[in-house]
Structure 1
Amino acid sequence: MHLTLRRSAGAAAALATVLTTVLGSTLIGSSPAQAATLDVTYDAVGTSTIKSTGSVVDLGPTTLTTALESADGSFTGHLPLPTSTAEFKLAGFLPVQATVDFIEAAPVTGALVRSGATTTVTSTATYFIKLSHVKIGGIPAFVGNQCRTAAPVVIPANSPAGQTFNIISGGRLAGTYTIGSFQNCNLSTGLLNLIVPGAGNTVDLTVSNGRLG
């Protein structure tokens, strides 16, 4: 699923000119005296796959807002993620459902990296993962309102090997991350910590439709 907004060819060309002027010298090499910040907003949509359960969680559609620094190509931003739902079968037969929220713990950080004529992105997002409305076999688990990872989950999202990122049209970002233990889930804390935490979870995002502001 891709979100797109119609934009005239003239607007796209204008954005390209501004970005090239402000950031082009950055990715090639500019002096601190020439540093400037440019706010660019993108549409974003994707999925995350939880390895331990095999469940797929929708990420978005949402909006990625970034502040690009021309001095070094770095950026900070925000990627708020809407509430989603995870479903899987425990022990292969017992259905489990849960509402999943990614609560931003720190701004997204990253950088545009140019190698020759190729531009890629490295980035890191940090969230607490919160679970609510958990049902096991159709029976509510009553995890309460504060059931979430004890520590923030650090999620890298980078341009995959062999792929590029276009400042205007965007690109694909992917990564692998680890989910730590949960806390404050009432009597379900132990069970959830047996089921969900672990390494090898993946994220796959498509970022598109870059626009100023």
Structure 2
Amino acid sequence: MKKFRALAVTAAAAALTLLTAVPANAVTLNYEYDANGWTHIHSTDSDLWIKPTKMQLAIQGADGTFTGHMPISPADTKFHVLGFLPIKAQVNFEEAAPLSGRVVRVGNIARVDSTASYYIRLSNVLIAGIPSPVGSNCRTKDPVTLSANTPDGEIFNIANGGNLAGSFTIGDFEHCLLNTLIINQLVPGDGNMTLAVTNAKFISATNP
């Protein structure tokens, strides 16, 4: 076990060295991280848990740019209208574009700037405990762009991970049957997100 851990640490260190060196024909470094976090939607004053998932990144050694994927599992949310009427719904995230961004290095410090794009779909809507049909394709008209960056004063370690934080804006929904109007009066608006990225796993290094 100790030998295996030593090899893993050595591989991660070698990959980090490749990224720092910025060779002309740099390799692509493939990593997988654990990720989970929270979002807060200001319009409904509600929180949504980003359940444990995997973030996969392909980092270009030449300039630190990356692409990747982070599937987000469905999660339940609830809030109150007029202070007393409870509304519950299942929120689903459908990837609209790959995760993209860049690892920016300043001296020995690294940070991440990234964006992800998802359609947000609502299902299993309950108003005061009573099912309120929204159909099978009640979702935002346009993808919601999540900006997630390393918070000020913190760093992102490629071989370990780090915290990310950012914001988003939810636009109008469509195809929600008779509930489209009320959903668009209640839900659209700004929000913020925090994400913990941990347990880095170095997968491979591939040549361009």
Q: Under a length normalisation based on structure 2, what TM-score does the superposition of the two structures give?
A: 0.93
2:12 aligned to which of 10, 13, 16: 16
When the two chains are superposed, the root-mean-square deviation of aligned CA atoms in Å is 1.3
2:47 aligned to which of 53, 56, 61: 56
Could you tell me which residue of structure 2 aligns to residue 195 of structure 1? 186
The farther-off stretch of 10-19 and 130-139 is 10-19
2:69 aligned to which of 47, 71, 78: 78
Following superposition, the deviation at residue 25 of structure 1 comes to 1.2
Following superposition, the deviation at residue 12 of structure 1 comes to 4.1
CA–CA separation in structure 1 for the residues paired with 2:110 and 2:188:
34
Q: Secondary structure at the match of 2:149?
A: coil
Are the equivalent residues in 2 in contact too, given 1:168–1:208 (CA < 8 A)?
no
Are the equivalent residues in 2 in contact too, given 1:15–1:168 (CA < 8 A)?
no
Q: Under a length normalisation based on structure 1, what TM-score does the superposition of the two structures give?
A: 0.91
Equivalent residue runs for 1:109-148 within 5 Å = 109-148=100-139
1:207 aligned to which of 177, 197, 201: 197
Q: Does 1:40 align with 2:31?
A: yes
CA–CA separation in structure 2 for the residues paired with 1:160 and 1:147:
33
Count, aligned residues: 201
Equivalent residue runs for 1:97-112 within 5 Å = 97-112=88-103
Q: Does 1:151 align with 2:142?
A: yes
Segments of 5+ residues of structure 1 without an aligned counterpart are 1-6
Following superposition, the deviation at residue 16 of structure 1 comes to 2.7
